[in-house]
Amino acid sequence: GQSLEQPSEVTAVEGAIVQINCTYQTSGFYGLSWYQQHDGGAPTFLSYNALDGLEETGRFSSFLSRSDSYGYLLLQELQMKDSASYFCAVRGLGSARQLTFGSGTQLTVLP
Amino acid sequence: DGGITQSPKYLFRKEGQNVTLSCEQNLNHDAMYWYRQDPGQGLRLIYYSQIVNDFQKGDIAEGYSVSREKKESFPLTVTSAQKNPTAFYLCASKPEERSPLHFGNGTRLTVT
């Protein structure tokens, strides 16, 4: 089976940097993805790591360490609009090749 | 503009009734998915379809049924056998296996 763990809540102030961690267990591994969801809305894709290292997309970066079964999403220069839920997701092998999502981290950005 | 349309946004039903949630996409994506989201929780896969006339059970398929008669459409029926049907239902699609998911805006189903 597959399982992911991420913190349920994170709070930070505008302009700060925040890191959202994700640890996973999976029978196979095809990559770690991150999605953002504003309250009551559609999740939107943020980033994907198939290999170890850092992927940067503007203010957002995502990191993966396959040997540690660990990744994180780094948000820089936080803005109020970044207040949302952030989900990590993994794709495994066989019948589990569909995405399995973590339970999400609610990020609150304070003024 | 291309996208995924889920309708209606809010749906109310009485316990014991079947209800069908609509999902239409004009992105020409082969694969389509249904996820369920409960408050404060992640997304759980109900059913998915990688091609027309074929679909597979996800992690929580019991009490649900789907059909995939057209590439553009992937309706989900929540049957009376689903014990806790009240939830937020999200439809998604993607063009190929390694692509990210594109989500619709969801349908919030309340069963009383």
Task: Report residue A93's pLDDT band, with 50, 70 and 90 as the boundaries.
Answer: low
Q: Check CB contact under 8 Å for B40 and A43.
A: no
In the numeric block, the tokens 């409960």 are attached to B38
Q: Are strands A53-57 and A32-37 parallel, antiparallel or unpaired?
A: unpaired
**Chains A, B: CB contacts under 8 A, how many?**
49
Greater model confidence, A22 or A27: A22
CB B83 within 8 A of CB B75: no
Min Cα–Cα distance to chain A from B72, Å: 19
Q: Check CB contact under 8 Å for A41 and B45.
A: no
Which residues of chain B have a CB within 8 Å of the CB of A35? Answer: 101
Q: Is B97 on the interface with A (CB under 8 A)?
A: yes
Greater model confidence, A97 or B76: B76
Task: Report residue A96's pLDDT band, with 50, 70 and 90 as the boundaries.
Answer: low
Which residues of chain B have a CB within 8 Å of the CB of A41? Answer: 105-106
CB A31 within 8 A of CB A49: yes
CB B89 within 8 A of CB B8: no
Query: Residue B52 above 80 pLDDT?
Result: yes
Which residues of chain A have a CB within 8 Å of the CB of B42? Answer: 4, 87, 101-104
